[in-house]
Amino acid sequence: MSFTPHGKHLVAGQWIDGMMHFASTPAQGPSHRFAVGTPEIVGRACDAAEAASWTYAATSREDRALFLEAIADEIEARAPTITEIAAQETGLPTARLDGERGRTTGQLRLFAAHIRQGDYLDRRRDPALPERTPLPRPEIRLTQRPVGPVAVFGASNFPLAFSTAGGDTAAALAAGCPVVVKGHSAHPGTGEIVAEAILAAIHRCGLPAGVFSLVQGGAREVGEALVTHPFIKAVSFTGSLAGGRALFNLCAARPEPIPFFGELGSVNPMFLLPAATANRAEAVGLGWAASLALGAGQFCTRPGIVVVVDGPDADRFVTATATELEKIAPQTMLTDGIATAYQKGCGHFVTNEGIRPVVLTVSEGRAALPNLFETTGQTFAGNLSLAEEVFGPLGLVVRVASLAEMHELALGFKGQLTMTMHMDDADLEVARSLVPVLERKAGRVLVNGFPTGVEVVDSMVHGGPWPASSNFGATSVGTMSIRRFLRPVAYQNFPEALLPDDFNA
């Protein structure tokens, strides 16, 4: 039997309807009605999160680990239904959704194992030195403590891994922070059934109901009410630069400013070094085409720009890329708005002087076809708009006249999630000169790969300097993401009985 959402908000364990409703716009299948969020609903969710925060922050790491694992279990118990509704809402293929669900449950279990170990707490102890002169030293201990309730904004392009129970929610819950999720209107039914899984895990683990709430839909005022609520102590967001900057400004303007962890946009440039281009132009071109068009180019790590030294080897690379892109059939984009923005972005390149179309297509409705353009390094350096993200399968080849121009162009990029070098052994000296630039500009630097695969592991960094993200010292993927929702507290001259349990476990 097909799943029919009830279309309500989840606030402190209760499913709550609203006075107004919106209709979902699925890529296929039936539309459903969902309650529209309001500032009043947001307030109730935040009040419940604050009430729950005192109990939840005091839970043991083992209790929180069991909770994360219970959420993973409950999501997997609903796997067929989640795939069904998510495929309808987003148009994503079932294999992609099954893989994303596995990533979601996998990171919940990874975070559970990580907090059990306790290393993330960075516990320290400086013993008392009562005999020290001229003044004695008290005993000082340090650990990390939860910041309090966290607001999470669901992402359009990852209905599972970056939304209701995605990495941000998992990280905050692992840290001991209640979560209020602002659901994304592109996949409200998916959000609802995942919220049901979280609620089942709350009941199973005997936790306070206010540990998690989901507020569906709503206009800009709903997001504003969430980030400005005095009980919210941190915000996590994945989305556009304009939307993220507006929320960032609200967080900074509060009477009590709070951290805003936003992933905002990246073109993820790749640099093809001469020996690699000479030896592997066609292979790299085929790999780039596949990475560029994966998921209709709707990945934040899509490598949208390639920089290569002009010449016959660059010609071979462009030809191979174009030939492969021309084979790709139309793919459904996540929302009408994303499709319209992609078409507008392609139009910007078509009308831009100094840009030559290599593969030029016309996308209609929510069906996207790849486009490929090329330009010179001089034209690119003189037109900052060419370095802005176009969300979709659009690629730009920048042909530079020399390695020196490639280096200068690398220096001109703004902050990125990733930067990549394709190199062979003969390129080592050139690569050595580029690495300091790339590591200054990006959170993840790759060699001979494509950045669209983001591993959920201890060592992953998914973040970067502005405007890739709003906090260059944070990551939204991997176990280090938990640290965003913790703060260090020093305990001076504390008796053992008063210290947090983390010191004794």
Secondary structure, 3-state, 219-275 = CHHHHHHHHHCCCCCEEEEECCHHHHHHHHHHHHHCCCCCCEEEECCCCCCEEECHH
Q: Where are the alpha helices (DSSP H) in 133-219?
A: 167-175, 188-205
Could you tell me which of 87, 111, 121 has the C-alpha nearest to residue 166? 111
Number of Cα atoms under 13 Å in the Cβ half of residue 458 = 7
Distance from the Cα of residue 205 to its chain's centroid: 28
The answer to whether 247 and 260 have CB atoms below 8 angstroms apart is yes
- Burial category of 475 from C-beta neighbours within 10 Å (exposed 0-12, middle 13-18, buried 19 and up): buried
Q: Which of 74, 100, 263, 389 is catalytic?
A: 263
Cis peptide leading into residue 467 (ω within 30°): yes
Question: What is the DSSP track for 358-401?
Answer: EE----BTTEE--EEEEEEHHHHHT-GGGGS--SSSEEEEEEES
**Burial readout 303-314 (b: 16 or more C-beta within 10 A, e: otherwise):** bbbbbbbbeebb
The answer to whether 266 and 389 have CB atoms below 8 angstroms apart is yes
SS3 475: coil
Counts of helices then strands in the chain (DSSP H, E): 14, 21
Euclidean distance between CA atoms 120 and 478, whole angstroms:
12
Segment holding 487, helix H or strand E: strand 486-492
Q: Is 131 a catalytic residue?
A: no
Residue whose token pair is 């009308």: 351
Could you tell me which of 187, 202, 224, 149 has the C-alpha nearest to residue 14? 202
Q: Is 263 a catalytic residue?
A: yes
The answer to whether 154 and 183 have CB atoms below 8 angstroms apart is yes
Euclidean distance between CA atoms 274 and 435, whole angstroms:
16
Q: Which of 300, 324, 346, 405 is catalytic?
A: 300
Number of Cα atoms under 13 Å in the Cβ half of residue 248 = 18
Residues annotated as catalytic are: 263, 300
